[in-house]
Structure 1
Amino acid sequence: MTITLIAALSLSYLTGSIPFGLLFSRMAGKDVRKEGSGNIGATNVNRVLGKKLGILTLFCDVVKGFLPVFVASIVLPVGEHWALFVGLCGLAAVLGHMFSIYLGFKGGKGVATALGVFLFFSPWSVAIALVVFVAVVGASGFVSAGSLAAAGLIPFFILLLGGSASIFLCSAVIAIMIWVKHSSNIGRLRRGEETSWKTKDSA
């Protein structure tokens, strides 16, 4: 079991580490880290390379969050700590995106990869969180504010909809990591310097 868990965690981290935004930008002859906000996520890829590659980056980043926990749920033996171990694989995938081994332990802010993880944990919680995201972005004009609101609330949605304590805990840790990674956005929001989505948000 120990070897299987270590392998699952390692593969989850390595999968999450794949910098799809950077790979797609290099295929297009650019380095997304040197343009726009410098982030490798879908928002900046959309800004620098256009909607098609932005959507493709979003899709791939979501899949690299969903796939590790899906595989882990199959290969890890069902037992007392099964939910915790699967949750930790989701956490490892998000850590991979944020601190990619392929990028010198630098990376993105983890929202799309976390979305993939949360989709496996509780699709209905994601649906509710997306409503929150749209509402906050629509009211405030800031994609970063919507991401922070949705990420902060989704662990509680998971718990309210019957998720286990282990899944809630892993989800809460992921949410905290997303907030930490958005510290610069939070600072700009507090100072009134964050750019509205109407002028292409810098999240």
Structure 2
Amino acid sequence: MTSLPVFFIIGAYLLGSVSSAIVVTRVFTRQDIRTQGSGNPGATNVYRVAGKKAAAIVFLFDALKGALPVYLGFLYGLEPLVLSAVAISACLGHIFPIFYKFKGGKGVATAIGAIFPIHWGLTLCLLSTWTIVFFVSRISSLAAVVSLTMAPIYTYIFKPDFTLPVLLLCLIILLKHKSNLISLVRHQESSFRKRNK
């Protein structure tokens, strides 16, 4: 049994390292998403470059990268601490993918997917927070930052045992949003409202 947690942690990282943004954008546009738009291989940039359908596919796959290993871990009876490590590993794979020179996306969709098997109510709160903030501001990064900030609080309400791992995961992803945070403070962050005017 001691090898099972290691298998799940490594498997989650490798699955997380598969970049759907790169693959899907090449299928839809024959372009490399890393050289288009913001250069970030994530659903938001895919939306800008390849459209809604491509972005939806990327978001779904990125979320599944987090959800699948954690859900399977539940089925195999892994302890909460190991499940937390599996979730974080999947997100680290997305952020630092071994298949793409350790340069990946920001991990929001994968984190939401990884949190989903922990408690559906937690995921619903996160998605609702993201949707409300985005609807009001039309700024994807702001919606992500607010959702990540609230995630440990929601986790404490629904599944207190996972609060610390979720806090750690959110801090990692927030660090990946450093440039977005600076732009938000300077009121320079890209808005979908501005692009659509």
Q: Normalised by the shorter chain, which TM-score bucket?
A: over 0.9
- In the alignment, is residue 92 of structure 1 matched against residue 82 of structure 2? no
The separation in 2 between residues aligned to 1:96 and 1:2, in whole angstroms, is 22
Cα-to-partner distance string for 1:9-52 (whole Å, 9 max, x where unaligned):
00010011110110112223110000001011111111111111
Gapped regions of structure 1 (runs ≥ 5)? none
Runs of 4+ in 1 over 4 A off after TM superposition: none
Residue deviations 1:115-161 (CA, integer Å, cap 9, x gap): 10111112111212222222222333321111111111112111112
- Cα distance in 2 for partners of 1:24, 1:146 equals 24
**In the alignment, structure 1 residue 188 sits paired with structure 2 residue 189:** no
Give, in whole Å, the separation in 2 of the partners of 1:50 and 1:141: 16
- TM-score when normalising by structure 2: 0.93
Q: Report the count of equivalent residues.
A: 195
Distance in 1 (CA, whole Å) between partners of 2:151 and 2:172 is 13
Amino acid at match of 2:185: R
| Identical pairs, percent | 32
Cα distance in 1 for partners of 2:160, 2:135 equals 32
In the alignment, the residues of structure 2 paired with residue 24 and residue 173 of structure 1 have an alpha-carbon distance, to the nearest angstrom, of 30
Q: Is the 8 A contact 2:91 2:107 kept in 1?
A: yes
SS across alignment from 1:121: coil
What is the distance in 2 between the residues matched to 1:47 and 1:136? Answer: 19
Equivalent-residue separation in structure 1 for 2:181 and 2:98 (angstroms): 26
Is the CA contact 2:112–2:126 (under 8 Å) kept in the aligned structure 1? no
Q: Name 1:36's counterpart in structure 2.
A: 37
- Cα root mean square deviation, aligned: 1.5
Q: Displacement of 1:174 after TM fit? A: 1.1
Please give the TM-score of this superposition, normalised by the length of structure 1.
0.91
Structure 1 residue 76: deviation in Å? Answer: 4.3
